[in-house]
Structure 1
Amino acid sequence: MSLTVAVQMDPLDQINVAGDSTFALMLSAQARGHRLFHYQAEDLNWSDGRLWAKAHPVTVQPPSTPGARDHYCFGDPVSLDLGDEADAVLMRQDPPFDLGYITATHLLERIADRTLVVNDPASVRNAPEKVFVLDYARFMPPTLVTRSLEEARAFLSQHGQIVVKPLHGNGGKAIFKVEENGLNLSALFEIFNQTWREPHMVQAFLPDVAKGDKRIVLVDGEVAGAINRLPGAGEIRSNLAVGGSAEKTELTAREREICDILGPELKRRGLIFVGIDVIGGEWLTEINVTSPTGIVAIERFDGTDVAGMIWDAIERRVAER
C-alpha cells in the first residue's frame, strides 16, 4: 500500500535530525514507498468545504556527515488538497498548545472523515498533556491545578517540597522546584500569572525523579517500548531536550497496569502515537498526544522498530476506512 502523506510540522532545517521522532517517521514512510509532503500549520487554508496547504514534496535521508544539513530535499510547492489528495496527515508540529495549534485541529477535523489524521485532531484538542492525565488521578502524584498563591502555599505546607510548571508547557521548560521554606514561591506565581492566563500545575516533588523519568510509547493502545530519561547534573528535569540522558529500561508491574488501563481509551480516541511519562515506576505525570517523542532512543537501546509499528497502525486504519 502506497500512501500520500502530508506532514504538518516545524521547519525541517531546524530539527535535531539525530533524535527527532518526526524525521524517523518520515524516513520509515519513505522506505515503505509512501509519498511525503511537508507544510507548516500556518500554511493551512479553507474555503467552501475544501482544506488545502501550500506543501512541498519532500524526500529525506540521513545526513551525509554529522551536523550536515542535507537531510531533506524539497520539490516545487503545490496546493495540496488534504481531504481529496492525501491519505494521511501527520500533525506533528511542536507545542505550545496555543490558539494556533487549536485552530489547526479544528481545520483538520473537517477532513477527518476522508483523510486519516494522526493523532485524531478532536482528541488532541480535548486531551492536552497535563489535563487529560487528570482522568487518571489515581496514578498521579498529589496534584493541584490553580492560579492561587494561597492554595499553592497550603499545598506546599502539606507536601513539603513541590514542583510548579505551566499547564500547557512542553519539553521540560519552566519547571521549578520549591523547597519547604517556600522562598520565591510568591515571586514565581507573580511571573506565572503574568505569563499565562490559565491555571498552573503544582505537584508534590518526587525524589525518585533522580532515578529517572520513564517515557513509555504506546502505538494504537499497545506498548511499543520505553526509555528511562535521567536528569543532567544539577537538574531535576530529565527531558532529553534540556540535557537529560537516556538508558535502557523495563516496565514495572505498576507501569504495565497503567498502560493496560490507558491503552483501550487511547485507541478509541484515535490517539495512535502516544508517549506517557512515569516517575519512580509508579507515578503517571503526563500523557503526551500532541507531538510525542522517544522512538529514536527506544530503537537505539532495544532495536524495536517503533516507527514501523506506527506505520503498520496507520496503514491498517487507512485500509479500514
Structure 2
Amino acid sequence: MSLTVAVQMDPLESINIAGDSTFALMLSAQARGHRLFHYAATDLNYADGRVWTRAHPVTVQQVEGDHFRFDAPVSLDLGADADVVLMRQDPPFDLGYITATHLLERVADRTLVVNDPREVRNAPEKLWVLDFARFMPPTLVTRSLEEARAFLAEHGEIVIKPLHGNGGKAIFKVGSDGANLSSLIEVFNTAYREPHMVQAFLPGVVKGDKRIVLVDGEIAGAVNRLPGEGEIRSNLAVGGTAAKAALTPREEEICAALSPELKRRGLLFVGIDVIGGEWLTEINVTSPTGIVAIDRFNGTDTAGMIWDAIEAKVAARTG
C-alpha cells in the first residue's frame, strides 16, 4: 500500500535529525514507499468545502545538513489528494494550533488525520490529564495567590508551570518559605490569561521523568529523562539526558487505564510523562516525542509500529 502523506510541521531546516520523532516517521514512511509532502500550519486554506495547502513534495535522508530535498510546491487538497495528514507542528497550543484542528477536522471524514484533530483540541496535555487525577500528584489549577499560598502551606514545596506550556519552559519550584511566590504569580498572571498549574513537588524527579509512548493504546516503549546538574526539569530540550527504562507495575496500570480512551478518541501516537514510577503529570497528544531515544535503547521500531497502525486504519476505511 502506497500512501500520500502530508506532514504538517515546523520548518525542516530547524530540526535536529538525531532525535526528532517527526523526521523518524518521515524516514520510515519513505522506506515503505509512501509519498511525502511538507507544509506549515499557517499555509492551510479553506473555501467551498475544501481544505488545501501549498505543499512541497519532499524526500528525506539521514545526513546532517543535507537531510531533505524539496521539489516544486504544489496545491494539495487535503481532503481529496492525501491519504494521511500527520499533524506534527510543535506547541504552543494557542489559537493558531486550535484553528488548524478546526480546519483539519473538515477533512477527517475523508483523510486520516493523526492525531484526530477534534480530540487533540479537546485533550490539552495538562487539562485532559485531570480525568485521571487518581494517578496524579496533588494538583491545583488557579490564578489566585491566596489559593497558591494555601496549597503551599499544605504541601510544603510546590512547582508552578504554565497550563499550556511545553518543552519544560517556565517551570518553577517554590520552597516552603514561599519566597517569590507572590512575584511569580504576578508574572504568570501578566503573561498568561488562563489559570496556571500548581503541583506538590515530587522529590522523585531527581531520579527522572519517564516518557512512555503508546501507539493506538498499546505500550511501544519508554525512556527515562534525567535532569541536568542543578535542574528539576528533565526535558531533553532543556538539558536532560536519556536513559534506558522499564515500566513499573504502577506505570503499566496507568497505561491500561488510558488505553481504551486513547483508542476511542483516535489518539494514535501519545506520550505520557510519569515521575518516580507512579505519578502521571502529562498526556502529550499534540506532537509527542521520544521515539528515537526509545528505539536506540531498546532496539525497537516505534516509527514502524506507528505506520503499521496508520496503514491498518487507512485500509479499514477504504476496504
Name 1:291's counterpart in structure 2: 287
Q: Partner of 2:313 in structure 1? A: 317
Q: 1:151-174: CA deviations, max 9, x gaps?
A: 000000000000000000000000
Tell me, yes or no, if structure 1 residue 181 matches structure 2 residue 177: yes
- Deviation for aligned residue 1:69: 1.6
The gaps in structure 1 that reach 5 residues or longer are: none
Instruction: State the partner residue of 1:36.
Output: 36
Aligned length: 317
1:159 aligned to 2:155?
A: yes
Aligned match of 2:267 in 262, 268, 271?
271
d(CA) in 1 for partners of 2:69 and 2:146? 54
Q: TM-score, normalised by structure 1?
A: 0.98
Cα displacement (A) at 1:120: 0.1
Task: Compute the displacement of 1:48 (Å).
Answer: 0.2
Match of 2:65 among 66, 69, 80: 69
What is the CA distance between 1:83 and its match in structure 2?
0.1
Unaligned runs of 5+ in 2: none
In 2, Cα distance between equivalents of 1:36 and 1:280: 39
Residue aligning to 1:120: 116
Q: Say yes or no: does 1:90 pair with 2:86.
A: yes
- Identify the residue that residue 139 of structure 1 maps to in structure 2: 135
Partner of 1:3: 3
Amino acid of the structure 2 residue aligned with 1:56: H
How far apart, in 1, do the equivalents of 2:245 and 2:16 lie?
A: 24
Amino acid paired to 2:110: R
Cα drift, residue 301 of structure 1: 0.1
User: Distance in 1 between the 2:189 and 2:56 partners?
Assistant: 40
Structure 1 segments of 4+ aligned residues over 3 angstroms from their partners: none
Instruction: Tell me the distance in 2 between the aligned counterparts of 1:309 and 1:268.
Output: 19
1:225 alignment partner, one of 214, 221, 224: 221
Within 2, Cα distance between the matches of 1:181 and 1:318?
A: 56
Deviation at 1:85, TM superposition (A): 0.3
What one-letter code is carried by the residue in structure 2 that aligns with 1:86?
A: A
- Residue type matched to 2:228 in 1? G
* Per-residue deviation, 1:218: 0.1
TM-score normalized by structure 2? 0.99
Distance in 2 separating the partners of 1:267 and 1:296: 23
SS in 2 for 1:201: strand
How big is the shift at 1:136?
0.2
SS at match of 1:22: helix
Determine the C-alpha separation between the residues in 1 that align with 2:233 and 2:255.
Answer: 23
**Residue 202 (structure 1) shift:** 0.2
Q: Is the partner of 1:53 in helix, strand or coil?
A: strand
1:72-96 deviation line (CA, Å, top 9, x unaligned): 0000000000000000000000000
Return the alpha-carbon distance in structure 1 between the equivalents of residues 268 and 65 of structure 2.
30
Looking at structure 1, the residues matched to 154 and 255 of structure 2 have their Cα atoms a distance apart, in angstroms, of 30
